[in-house]
Structures are given as C-alpha cells and as structure tokens.
Structure 1
Amino acid sequence: MSYSKGEIKAHLLKLLNEPALLITIVLISGLLIVFILLPLYKIFQISLINDDGKFTLNVYKSVLENNYFRRGFTNSILVATLTAIFGTLVGYLFAYTINRTDIPFKSFFRTIAIMPIIFPPFVGALSLIMLFGANGLITSRLLGMTNVYIYGLPGLMVAQVLCFFPVAFITLDGVLSTISPTLEDAAFNLGANRWQVFYKVILPLSAPGIASTMLVLFIESLADFGNPLILAGSKFPILSVQAYLQITGMYDLKGGAALSVWLLLPSLLAFILQKYFVDKKKYYTVTGKPTISVLKSVSEPVKWILFGICSFIVLFILLVYGVIFWGAFTKAWGANNEFTLENFKYVFDVGLNSIKGTLTIAAISTPISAILGMVIAFLVVRKVFPGKRVMEFISLLSFAVPGTVIGIGYILAFNSPPLLLTGTLAILVLNFVFRYMPVGIQSGVALLNQVDPSIEEAAFTLRATNRQVFTKITLPLITPAFFSALVFAFVRAMTAISAAIFLVSSRWNLVTVQILSQTESGRLSEACAFSLLLIVIIMVFIGVLKVFLKNKVSISNYSSVRS
C-alpha cells in the first residue's frame, strides 16, 4: 500500500505524539540491525577487506579456483533442488490422499507425517547409518551385505526428504483443505473424468502453494548442516559443511566467510521469490457445505494404491525413528545389542551440563522470541511508520540465512568490545531469539489479518493507549499464534545445531552438539540415548502446553507458518 506525502506526514506527527510506540519502533529497529544485519555485514567485510584494510576479491578468487569448493556449491544446489522436488512430491501425495480420499487411519497418518519435525534434524541421518550402513541392521544383519556405502548423494537425499517433507505436507495439507469440493462436483457434472478434474482443477489451484513449498524446502535444505555433516562424506562435499570445516579445521575465517557468502546468495534469492512473488499468488475458493465429491476424486483402486504408498512412508518413518529408541538401550550398536541402561547413566554423567545448558537457553530464548515476534507482527499489520516494510524484511531475513552463515557472522560480530559475547550465554540466547523469531511474526501476521481492526479502533476511541490495546485486545486475539511461536522456538532451540555449533563453549554446551560428537566418535548407542532424552523433553513440553491451552494449539499450527 502506498501513501501520499501528506499521509506520511500525518502518520509521522501521530507517531511523535505516541512516545511509547516510537521508542518501541526505534528499539526493535536497533536490535534488528545489531543482531541480524551486523553479523551479515561482518561476513561480507572480512571476505572483501585484506589485512591492510583495502578492498580485495582475492579470497573469492581463490575459492572459485578451488575445484573442491566448486563441487561443494554444485552439490549443495543439487541436493537442495532434489529435496525441493521430491520433498514436495511426497508431501503433496500425502496431503492429497488425506484430503481427497476416505482412507482409514487418517489421524494416525497425519500425526506420523509431522513427527520428524520434533526430532533433531540429523537424528534421521544417524538412524539411516544404523539401519543401512556397513554394519546396519537391515543391510548387514538381515541381508548380509557388508560392502554398503550409504554416504554421498543417495543416503543424504533419503535423510533430507525424510527430514523436510513434513514441512511440505503441512503446507499443502492447508492448501488442499481450502479447495472447495463443489468445484470438483461442477467438473464431474460437466462430464470430466477424474484425471481431468485433478489436472485442470485441483492442480492449478494448488500450484502457487506447490511453488511456495518448493522454494521453502530449497531454502531449508540449502541451509541444513547436520545431515550433510554426517552423511555427505568426503567424496560428496557440501558447502555448509565446507564453510564450517574451513573455520574450525583450517582456522581460515576469510575463506569460511567467502564460502558463507556463496551459500547465502541462492538462499536469499529463493527467499525473495517465495516471500514477495510466489507466496502472493494464491487462489481462494468460496466453500459451502462439503459434498460427496471428496469421495469421488479418486477411484477405489487408486485410493488403495495411495493408501499403500502412504502406509510405506509411515512405516519407514516409524522404522527410522524407532531404531533410535532401540539403540538407546543397547550396549554398543552393531557390536553388542544386549539391553542396558548404562547409556543413560553416561548421558547424565558426561552430558549433564549440556542438558542444563540447553534447557536454560531454550527457557530464556523461547518467550523472548515469541513475544518479540508478536510485537513486530502487530507493528507491521496495524501501524504505519517510515521503514515498516524494511523492518518486516529484516525481521524475516534470518529465515533465509543458513545457520552456518549466522554462526560465522555472530563469531565475527561479537568477538570484540563493545559487544564481546563469544562464549557467553547471551550469544546463544540472542542467536536463537532472532533466528526463530520469524515464525512468530508470520503466524502473528496471518492471524492479525483475519482480525477486524474495528475492534482495536473501538478501544482507541475509548482512549486506550497502544500498550493497553496490544496487551488487552490484540495479544489475547492472537494467542494461538503466540503459543505456536512458543512451541516452534522451544523445539528449534532444543534441536538447533548449524549456527549453535560455532557459539557453544565449555560452559554453555548443547545436547545436539553432544549427539554430533558421540556420532562422530562412533558411540552410536550413547548418541541414541542423548537423542531419546531430547525427544522426551520436547514431547513433555508440547504435552504440557497442549493441556494448558486445552488443545487449542497443535504441533501443526507452528509448523504451517514456515510456508
């Protein structure tokens, strides 16, 4: 929406008469600049300035001339593209089956489909090694295959699709559920067959959602760090892992920063396309009472074929994540599978500080992230001030920035006075707050756009202040979005790895870093025990929150805003 100069001047004068609102806008703008833009600026700065303080492209030249780095970039784009295609395909198939057939066990299928979201992102990769690796349960024990190599593109793709297809499913489930069955009835009445109804009615109406989902999965996969670190292998380099190793292994900050910029550019491009072009191209249908067409969309044989495919996916998910539970109670996975509880004793002996640290960081960052997200959503939707769109863009930018890039940026930005935060609790909390805040913003914006502004205008007419309107009217109305943001922020704080691995210290460590460390050292049973403990903590938190909200918020609420 554009405003004339007179309108802008009027809004500015109104803003000056509301000092509390003005202070809030200035404070939030300052925080966004310091904790989102400054780290990104530092990455560009160190990669473009030499030791003499002069502009140079030598680092980028050396990176581009390195065949291994070029392969890493190509592989990253390839994996992200394939994940977007196959993850969206599986998610759409699942969503279509649930919305357009009368298969049994729909609720069960829906629950299992979103289960990977609450697991640490690389637990699936760990499980695939335990199942299909050289000493895997299926490959070695059941099939007798000893020369299996799960690392590289095939294994990584299975892990990526398994990890990210739930995001596609949740998004496309919402898209397909809003397409009125009466449109299919009309097409059937005009003599169309089932294929024509799908190809000419359902698919075109869901095309914007499919395109948006593919871009989201592209960004998610490009930014992923855990699965590639475990499954990519040395023969299949991935750029996010290369940037990490360049800094931690080679102690080359300039080279790591240059690789981060290389990784950042396609991710930003996909984010801009998704946010400002594709995501706005949505179709809406006016729905009345649902009709029997939902049962006519597919024939009986096709229905059972779809049911079989979805059943296979569900069973595979249960197998992959079920083996983590089994592994947690074995003495040494692959060597000695006797039942034991020693792994949990080890977890609390070795990992107690990381458990306490993870819970502390999550407990502090979660409410701050959710509240800040709601405040920014309120400002973006309900207020007019100079730079509003810029604030929205910057606040959502961290969603597009890969975790590796964020981690490197925080090291560079907060490693010297006046903001010397390296190794402290504060740097981890701030990282989580601003990294996962966009989910609260998106959720809040979506709900506020459905709330009639006249409710708040009536309060202003009664001389309520901005603070009173926000706390007593707006915030209660967007309570579902607020608690969705709480759930998402807590889950991500508990399972984060890509940015956090750069920021942990001996005093403030994370359970996910412990899991990764145990996996790299070959202690798979101990890694499973850590993973199981993490999953239990997350499930308890979600369960308590659901009880508190009387089931008003579900796990799907917070996940859907990632679309």
Structure 2
Amino acid sequence: MRDCMISYSNERVSYKDTLISKLKENIIFILLYAIIITFILWPIISVILNSIFIDGRFSLEAYKQLTLKSTKLLYNSFLVAALSTFFAIIISIIIAIYMTQIKGILKKFIYILLLISMISPPYVDSLSFIILFGKRGLITYRVLHLHLNPYGFIGIVIMETLAHIPRAALLIIIAMKSIEKNLINASKDLGGDDLSTLFSIVIPMAKSSIIAASLICFVTSLSDFGTPIVIGGGFNVLATEAYLNITGVSNIPLASAMSIFLLIPSLILFIIYRKQMMQNKVYSYQIVDSSNSSEANNLNLPIYIKSIIIFITFFFVSIVILKYATILAGSFATFNSGKVGFTLDYFKEIDRAKLLSFKRSLYYSFTAAIAGSIIGILLSYVVERNKLKGAAFLDFTATLPYMMPGTLFGIAYILAFKNPPLVLIGTSSIVILNCIFKQLPMSSKAGSAVLSQQSPEIENAAKDLGANNFYMLKDIIFPILKPAFVTSFVNIFSSTMVTIGALIFLVSPGKEVATVQLFSAIKEGNLGVGCVLANMIIFATIIINLSVSSLLKLQFSKE
C-alpha cells in the first residue's frame, strides 16, 4: 500500500513538473510572439496605414503622386540597383574563383581586406572617391591636372558596386570552398576540361549563395540614400527622395508610399530566393568537411582566363588598399598652395559632441549585440525544436526586417512609436530596439543553422533522465549554440556600429551616433574630420570584435 502511494506521488510530481515545464516553454513563446509583433509587425503595418490614410481618411493620393511624379525616381533606383548588383556579383564570382585556387599569406591578406571592408562605416568609399577623384581630387586635379566632374549616375554605380563586393565575395567563397572534391574529379574523369568544370560544376553549385548575395546587394542598393546625396549631383533615387520627404518637407504619407514601393521588389526577390534554396537543398547531401573541399588549385584554367581573374582581383585589392590608405592619410594630410602637409587640426575638431556620439555608438552596438543574440537564439530554439503552432509565422515575421530597406524600417519606427501607449521617439530605446530587430534575422538564422545540424536525440535523452526544459536550455541548448552567439554578437555589433539608414531618422538632436556625425561631416565638405571619424569607427569595431570574440571563445573552451 505504501509503495503504491509513493508511486502515485512520484507520478503526480512528474506530471506537475511536466506541466510547469510546458508552461515556461509557452511563456517564452508568448513573449517572443509579443515582442516580434510589437517591434517588427506593428511598425510595418504603421507604414502601410500612414500611406493610405491621410488626416484620418482613406486616400491613395500618396500613391498617385508617386506614380505621376516619381516614375523617373523609380527608374533611377532600379537601374542603379540592377547595374551595381550585376557588376558586384560578376567581380565577386571572379574573386571567389581566385581565392579558392590559392593558399598562404596572400589568401589571408585578401580575406582580411574583405572582412575590414564589411565592417567599414558607410560612405568610406564615397569619401575616398571625393578625395582622390573629386573636382579638386588628389589624382584627377593635383596629379593629372584634369577638370572632371565625377558626380552623378556613374559615380553612384561605381561606389555602390565597390561597397557590395566584399560581402558578396565572402558568401560565394564559402560556397565554392565547400564543394566536394570528388565532384570536380568526376567531371574531369568524364572528359570535361577545367574550364567546362568551372561553368558546369563550380558556379552552379554556388548558385544559392550567388542568389543570396544578389538579393543582399539589390536590397541594400535600393535603400541607399547617402551615396546619391554625397556624390549623386543632380541624379536622385527613390530612397533619397523618401529621406528628403521626412527630413525636409515632412510629407509622411508620400515617404511611406515610397518606402512601400522599395519593399515590394525586396519581398519578390526574397520569395524567389527561398524557392531556389528549397530546390537546391539536395546539394547539402553532396557536401562533406573542408578537408575534402575543392579548394587549392584543382582547376588548371587557360592562361587567358587566369590572367583576367588575377587582373580583376588585384585591381579590386589595389582599390581597397588605396581607399583605406587615403582615409588614414586624410586624417593627417592638408593641401596648401599645391603642397601636401602634415596636420593634427582635424583631430582638434573632434569636439565633445563627436566624442559623445562615438561613445553612444559603442553603447548602442554592445547593448543591441547582447540582447539581439539572446533573442535570436531563443527564437531559433522555438522554431527548430518546439514546433509550436504559429512558429512558422513567427519565423517569417522575424525575417521581414532582413528584406526591408533600412530607410523603411527607420520610418516605420517613427510612425509606430510616436503616440501612446508606447512612445519611444527621442529615447535611446528606439535606436537600440531598431538595431536589435533589424539584425534579428542574422542571429536567429545563425542559431537555426547550428541546431539543424544537431540531432534532437540529445535533448530527448535529457528529458528521459528527468531534465525539464529550463535546465535543458541552460545545460544543453545554450552550450550547443555558443558558436552562434559569438557569430551573432560580431554581426550585430559591426552592423550597428556602421549603420545609418534607419538611425538617421531615429536619433534626436544632441544624441547623434558616430555614423550620423560622419555623414554630416562629408555632406558639409569637412573631409578631414570625416576621415578621422571613419578611422575611429573602423579601429574600434575591429578591436572590440576581436576582444569579445577571443574572450567568449576562451570562456567557452574553459567550460
């Protein structure tokens, strides 16, 4: 009788523990649902509502104005985005081919250049371009004595192409490195030469990454308002006009309509990308570890092809080196009567306001990186493991900021949080929250990528041994996701340090961040001050990323 009572008591405790565990699990899911709806879905809905309701009444006047007066802007936007994406992808594929055919110090050096280019603040390309090739440029005017006007359509396409290449090249390099060596050998055994193997095996196998890189380039180009403002001259695009309608004439409905127009092609491209990813999913079964990759001189291409690849790669590398050398030297150099001199005057112009903006950027970036990484990891666990009803919708909604232009997400936050019950305009919170949820897809996908490679049997075994979900998260899931946490931290911190698209709308006077100060300095013609600010952002981002990554990895290895 006593044994029966103990058994019954244990069953009751077990049921109670299971119930509490499920309740905690559902609470996490509900909290994630609430914050994602509040800080992602509601801002998007606010933009749509503000574009079709003017003074409280339904109206499509903003869209009429857009179609009648802004057709040229639409054409300009798509033309710049299409051309810069096309050139960036072609050059990135060439660089990726070269990088998978070499080894040693040279390869590491090019990798470092690509990584530094990814964490550079916006308009560094434009800043160096103006210094070197502007109307009074160091090369065009002072060396070649040419009176050229580099501003306009061609300048924008060149600058955006150069800005897109590093990220696109790294994505494609990763894909090409992971191609199984046996596929290359099989192609050769079947009579294919190295050139045909390149076009029939290597490039098609990297198709998913090429499409992903194209999507990122196109969306980024559509949302770029700063480059056209800095070097566009009289050439305007839709993102620039949306920015001016917010900051200049305060035409919120028209700016909202313009932002929606920028979102539509991004959504279409994202759907195409997802379909392509599903179709190409079979390739993952053909990929093995890096020791069996196709890297390191497996393709003996014709000499003329090799020459073209080497020339284009080193031409790009030379441009990158020249760019950063110009930015570094521009912090100390001055021109008087045609002579180059040394000066520290630009550093003296870094006043208290600029230093505070730099400190503010560090604080926002660090806070967003920690919070965004934790939320992203929890989201990936809910989506990949719990499979609760509504998890797919949650995942899709969380992915929306990734395909949204930064300008749209910034305008969305202004419209969503300017009125009660949640007023955030003018606070630090609106900036941090915007950065967290703009970069949330990167952290959640990093977590999902790790979890998708781990068998759930480990968690099932823990449950069988009596572990509830809280301890399973703490002792199993989080340790598994430590690499994803480091990756997420670096991505979010770097992106927040160098972003401006959304933040320029959200920061209030006297509370600017470093990139906004950089943008203002370039726009006002203070190029030396701009160089100093750019160097501060670049070096701080590199040092903190390396320090935090090393610290976290050291801590993880001890555990």
Normalized against structure 1, the TM-score is what? 0.90
Aligned to 1:250: 249
Note the 1:422-441 alignment, pairs <5 A. 422-441=425-444
The answer to whether the aligner puts 1:190 opposite 2:194 as a matched pair is: no
Note the 1:521-540 alignment, pairs <5 A. 521-540=524-543
Note the 1:115-134 alignment, pairs <5 A. 115-134=116-135
Aligned to 2:467: 464
Aligned to 2:322: 319
Aligned to 2:3: none
Aligned to 1:4: none
Q: Which moved more, 1:100-109 or 1:290-299?
A: 290-299
Aligned to 2:53: 49
Please state whether the residue corresponding to 1:360 is helix, strand or coil: helix
Note the 1:27-176 alignment, pairs <5 A. 27-51=31-55, 53-66=56-69, 69-101=70-102, 105-146=106-147, 148-176=148-176
Would the aligned equivalents of 1:215 and 1:270 in 2 still touch at CA under 8 Å? yes
Taking the aligned partners of 1:42 and 1:546, their CA distance within structure 2 comes to 38
Please state whether the residue corresponding to 2:122 is helix, strand or coil: coil
Please state whether the residue corresponding to 2:402 is helix, strand or coil: helix
Please state whether the residue corresponding to 2:341 is helix, strand or coil: strand
**Partner amino acid for 2:444?**
I
What displacement does 1:218 show?
1.3
Determine what percentage of the aligned residue pairs are the same residue: 31
Aligned to 2:14: none
Out of 21, 26, 39, the residue aligned to residue 22 of structure 1 is: 26
Taking the aligned partners of 1:436 and 1:204, their CA distance within structure 2 comes to 29
**Partner amino acid for 1:50?**
I
Q: From the superposition, tell whether residues 537 and 292 of structure 1 become closer, same or farther in structure 2 (CA, over 3 Å).
A: closer
Please state whether the residue corresponding to 1:119 is helix, strand or coil: coil
Aligned to 1:366: 369
Per-residue CA shift, 1:515-555, capped at 9, x if unaligned? 111111111101111111111111110221243245999xx
Please state whether the residue corresponding to 1:419 is helix, strand or coil: coil
What displacement does 1:363 show?
2.3
Would the aligned equivalents of 1:73 and 1:238 in 2 still touch at CA under 8 Å? yes
**Partner amino acid for 1:160?**
E
Out of 543, 548, 555, the residue aligned to residue 546 of structure 2 is: 543
Q: From the superposition, tell whether residues 31 and 246 of structure 1 become closer, same or farther in structure 2 (CA, over 3 Å).
A: same
Taking the aligned partners of 2:82 and 2:153, their CA distance within structure 1 comes to 12
What displacement does 1:205 show?
2.1
Root-mean-square deviation (CA, aligned residues, Å) is: 2.3
Taking the aligned partners of 2:529 and 2:58, their CA distance within structure 1 comes to 48
Note the 1:414-493 alignment, pairs <5 A. 414-493=417-496
**Partner amino acid for 1:306?**
I
Q: From the superposition, tell whether residues 337 and 242 of structure 1 become closer, same or farther in structure 2 (CA, over 3 Å).
A: farther
Please state whether the residue corresponding to 2:199 is helix, strand or coil: helix
Taking the aligned partners of 1:478 and 1:248, their CA distance within structure 2 comes to 42
Q: Which moved more, 1:166-175 or 1:198-207?
A: 198-207
Q: From the superposition, tell whether residues 461 and 201 of structure 1 become closer, same or farther in structure 2 (CA, over 3 Å).
A: same
**Partner amino acid for 2:218?**
F
Normalized against structure 2, the TM-score is what? 0.90
Q: Which moved more, 1:383-392 or 1:345-354?
A: 345-354
Taking the aligned partners of 2:526 and 2:62, their CA distance within structure 1 comes to 38
Would the aligned equivalents of 1:101 and 1:298 in 2 still touch at CA under 8 Å? no
Note the 1:389-404 alignment, pairs <5 A. 389-404=392-407
Per-residue CA shift, 1:134-190, capped at 9, x if unaligned? 1111111121112x2222221111211111111211111111111122222222223
Please state whether the residue corresponding to 1:338 is helix, strand or coil: strand
Q: Which moved more, 1:28-37 or 1:180-189?
A: 180-189
What displacement does 1:429 show?
0.9
What displacement does 1:54 show?
2.6
**Partner amino acid for 2:84?**
T
Would the aligned equivalents of 1:153 and 1:232 in 2 still touch at CA under 8 Å? yes
Unaligned runs of 5+ in 2: 1-17
Taking the aligned partners of 2:378 and 2:336, their CA distance within structure 1 comes to 48
| Number of residue-to-residue matches in the alignment | 535
What displacement does 1:437 show?
1.3
Would the aligned equivalents of 1:102 and 1:295 in 2 still touch at CA under 8 Å? no
**Partner amino acid for 1:253?**
I
**Partner amino acid for 2:151?**
Y
Q: Which moved more, 1:55-64 or 1:367-376?
A: 55-64
Taking the aligned partners of 1:241 and 1:40, their CA distance within structure 2 comes to 20
Greater Rg, structure 1 or structure 2?
Answer: 2
What displacement does 1:351 show?
0.7
Please state whether the residue corresponding to 1:298 is helix, strand or coil: coil
What displacement does 1:389 show?
0.7
Please state whether the residue corresponding to 1:129 is helix, strand or coil: helix
Q: From the superposition, tell whether residues 293 and 135 of structure 1 become closer, same or farther in structure 2 (CA, over 3 Å).
A: closer
The answer to whether the aligner puts 1:344 opposite 2:344 as a matched pair is: no
Per-residue CA shift, 1:297-355, capped at 9, x if unaligned? 42456435422321111111111122111111134699874212222222143412212
Aligned to 1:220: 220
Would the aligned equivalents of 1:15 and 1:22 in 2 still touch at CA under 8 Å? no
Please state whether the residue corresponding to 1:423 is helix, strand or coil: coil
Please state whether the residue corresponding to 1:124 is helix, strand or coil: helix
Aligned to 2:270: 271
What displacement does 1:227 show?
2.0
